[in-house]
Amino acid sequence: MSTVGPAGRVRPALPGDPARIGPYRIIGRLGAGGMGTVHAALDAGGQRVAVKVIRTAQAENPEFRARFRREVQLSARVTGPCLVPLLAADPDAPAPWLATAYAPGPTLDQHLAVHGPLAGGNLYAFAAGTAQALAAIHRAGVVHRDVKPQNVILSPAGPRVLDFGIAHAADGTSVTRTGVMTGTPGWISPEHYRTGTAGPPGDMFAWGALVSYAATGRLPFGTGAPDVVAFRVMSGEADLDGVPGPLLTLLVRALAKEPEGRLTSEDAAGQCTALLASQTTQLLTSTPTTAGDPVAAQWDLPALDDPAWQGPPVRPRRRPLLTVGIGAALVGALAGGLLALSPETRQERAGHSAPPPAPTGTGRATAAPPSAPPSGTQAGAGTGASPAADDSPSIATWRQARAAQTPAENDAGPSMGTGPWLDPVAHPDQDRALTFHRPRGEVYVALSGQELDQGAVHDIAELACLGLRDLSTAYPDLPYRTYVVVDTEREGGPAVVWSDDFRANPSCSTSLTDRAAAPGEGRAADWYPGSAGMLTAVIPSRDPDQIRVAHRIATTIITSWNGGAGHDRIGHDTMSVGFDPGSRTMYVWATEPRWDAATRGAWAREAAAHACTGLTAEAGRSADWPFTRYAVLVRDTAGTDEYLRWATVGTCPD
């Protein structure tokens, strides 16, 4: 996740933000991510600049600093049209930073969500510009490895390709750690899934998918679980329906399953530029001086104006705050054309069935029935029903909370940042309100506009925890230790959906493990399938043995289940198998929120039996087969997981 103002607009600086970074004068913030903060800045000549500063905790990690230094080196090697140039950097500073030119505009996916597919000259300019950018990258001996809609900005001057955070040099030096799958499902080439190979042909496969998405507004390999998308990428055909004929031939070649069958970035740039010229209705006033000029001539998106760029820096005169790092993943996904933050991949959100009251430091997803507020009662009014019997946060205590009064309370919102659910483009009606219950030591985060799914709840919880931990460092006497997330849009009325002690959760993890279920039938007593393993399991494997075993076991379970009667059928789009090498566990999950408890239990028994038999058979075939455990769960469409059976391979159930 990442945070940014609308279309990359400047937000006010926070207390403690630097006045200058290197030669640049800081005038505000453009966004924040788990790895650091991106500041809006001006150089001595008034040129707009985006300056990325790495968080102290990351800078103290030698491996991270080495990767950041390599990112700077790779970025400096690449120049060309439709790229965001590196202007300056200091990877050895106490707080490493780099500065790039500023390119305003939404990302491709943000633009498509509001305006729909590109067409006509804009589409051909997009195809030509992104191909030219990749050609420049490849000429410099660099492989991008993460071409996707979130890493392309639609600036007023044309598309801009971002993010060398996981780039790879042709000499073999990689920014990422060995053995870590890079890229994003749906934008990864077949050979990368199979063998981990990442080269220019892989970038071109992603480019073909990218241009198809721009032309149709549909993901070319559809949606679904990562392993399902991976199967379509490796074995299915891309959905190119609606791509204009002149581009269609190029995209078919770019999306060839074998890398040697794809066109190169140079070929794509040349042919797309020729197609663009054939579409041109506007004559250039002079001979183009760069390959990017035809793109700019045909490009037709409005310029963005942000008065904050011209104004002096605005700094609240309050106690200093540490630089706030919120969320994670890539700041290349920020609207506003920022170079991506480093690729440290945070755990993807994962929910579990709501546990009973958790021990100190464990976040709680609350599933208690919500209470509708009395007519006319607003949060903070101090009225409402009695607090919960166990003295846990409730709608009643939320209503008793008040608005911010102290400097620390006023800084709480900015320290948390926002998130994709507050993106004014994607969710214009969504809003957030913070209130404070000082006697209870609780900060309430209330969201309105639309009901939150479980994934959004986890994201909000993590942002709140990170922000409040930073706030408590700047304000050591901060009288709060618990944050509470309230969803005001539940059908039955506002509901408390999460609470946690942020002081006792230093990592701000929002992964829940429901250990309330006692060991019993099909449940091992000596271990539990934690969420971290599931997060690994959902990442598509590139190990051929794992792919083979997963497909065989999934097919066996699907065939067996569908042969019965009285329940919904399942398929590879609703059932998946994945592996966590760290715990030597195979995970089997179905996405079926319509099932009742009895149906879930029946499916889990059947799936567990086939999982155990399949793992036992594979161990008999190969002494090197490492997986000795299995876990069976049901996941609903909001991402909530219910673990039903887990065991170590030995005596398999009938």
Q: What is the pLDDT of residue 617?
A: 92
Distances (CA, A) of 279 to 136, 234, 237, 588: 24, 34, 28, 51
Longest dimension (CA), the chain: 79
Question: Does position 553 have pLDDT exceeding 80, yes or no?
Answer: yes
Q: What is the pLDDT of residue 3?
A: 36
Distances (CA, A) of 117 to 136, 240, 398, 427, 478: 26, 13, 43, 19, 48
Out of 388-397, 447-456, 548-557, give the one with best mean pLDDT. 548-557
**Is residue 236 within 8 Å of residue 221, measured between CB atoms?**
yes
Q: Extract the tokens encoding 48.
A: 């707009």
Task: Give the pLDDT band (50/70/90) at residue 293.
Answer: low
Task: Give the pLDDT band (50/70/90) at residue 618.
Answer: very high
Q: Which of the pair, 169 or 37, is modelled with greater confidence?
A: 37
**% of residues, the chain, pLDDT over 90:** 27
Task: Give the pLDDT band (50/70/90) at residue 175.
Answer: very low
- 257 in a known ligand binding site: no
Q: What is the pLDDT of residue 459?
A: 75
Query: Average pLDDT, whole number, for the chain?
Result: 75
Per the annotation, the verdict on 501 as an active-site residue is: no
Count of CB atoms situated within 10 Å of the CB of 37: 28
Q: What is the pLDDT of residue 453?
A: 72
Least confident window among 165-179, 219-233, 458-472: 165-179
Task: Give the pLDDT band (50/70/90) at residue 443.
Answer: very high
**Is residue 38 within 8 Å of residue 31, measured between CB atoms?**
yes
pLDDT mean over 487-499: 85
Out of 250-254, 325-329, 486-490, give the one with best mean pLDDT. 250-254
Apex CA 320: angle with CA 318 and CA 324, to 5°? 120
Out of 266-270, 464-468, 637-641, give the one with best mean pLDDT. 266-270
Nearest-CA neighbor of 248 among 222, 274, 280, 211?
A: 211
Question: Does position 591 have pLDDT exceeding 50, yes or no?
Answer: yes
Question: Does position 598 have pLDDT exceeding 80, yes or no?
Answer: yes
**Rounded Cα–Cα distance for residues 78 and 100 (Å):** 12
**Rounded Cα–Cα distance for residues 20 and 125 (Å):** 37
Q: Residue 32: which residues within 8 A CB-CB, separation 6 or more?
A: 2, 3, 38, 324, 325, 326, 327, 331, 417
**CA R_g for the chain:** 26
pLDDT mean over 322-336: 28
Q: Residue 573: which residues within 8 A CB-CB, separation 6 or more?
A: 224, 225, 228
Q: What is the pLDDT of residue 210?
A: 97
Which one-letter amino acid corresponds to residue 421?
W
Question: Does position 367 have pLDDT exceeding 60, yes or no?
Answer: no
Nearest-CA neighbor of 363 among 484, 446, 444, 448?
A: 484
Reduced to 3 states (helix: H, G, I; strand: E, B; else coil), residue 7 is helix
Placement of tokens 């054939």 in the chain: 278
Q: What is the pLDDT of residue 332?
A: 33
**Rounded Cα–Cα distance for residues 652 and 646 (Å):** 11
Q: What is the pLDDT of residue 509?
A: 63
Q: What is the pLDDT of residue 588?
A: 94
Q: Parallel, antiparallel, or unpaired for β 640-648 and 351-352?
A: parallel
**Is residue 651 within 8 Å of residue 524, measured between CB atoms?**
no
pLDDT mean over 579-584: 86
**Which among 90, 92, 109, 146 is annotated as catalytic?**
146
Nearest-CA neighbor of 357 among 189, 592, 514?
A: 514
**Rounded Cα–Cα distance for residues 616 and 629 (Å):** 10
**Is residue 609 within 8 Å of residue 645, measured between CB atoms?**
no
Q: Residue 483: which residues within 8 A CB-CB, separation 6 or more?
A: 442, 443, 444, 445, 461, 464, 465, 468, 499, 500, 502
**Is residue 68 within 8 Å of residue 336, measured between CB atoms?**
no
Whole-structure pTM over 0.85, yes or no?
Answer: no
Q: What is the pLDDT of residue 365?
A: 45
Apex CA 450: angle with CA 447 and CA 454, to 5°? 75
Question: Does position 507 have pLDDT exceeding 80, yes or no?
Answer: no
Placement of tokens 């919120």 in the chain: 326
Question: Does position 609 have pLDDT exceeding 90, yes or no?
Answer: yes
**Is residue 434 within 8 Å of residue 417, measured between CB atoms?**
no
pLDDT tens-place string over residues 196-210: 778 899 999 999 999
Q: What is the pLDDT of residue 399?
A: 92
Least confident window among 94-103, 113-122, 307-316, 362-371: 362-371
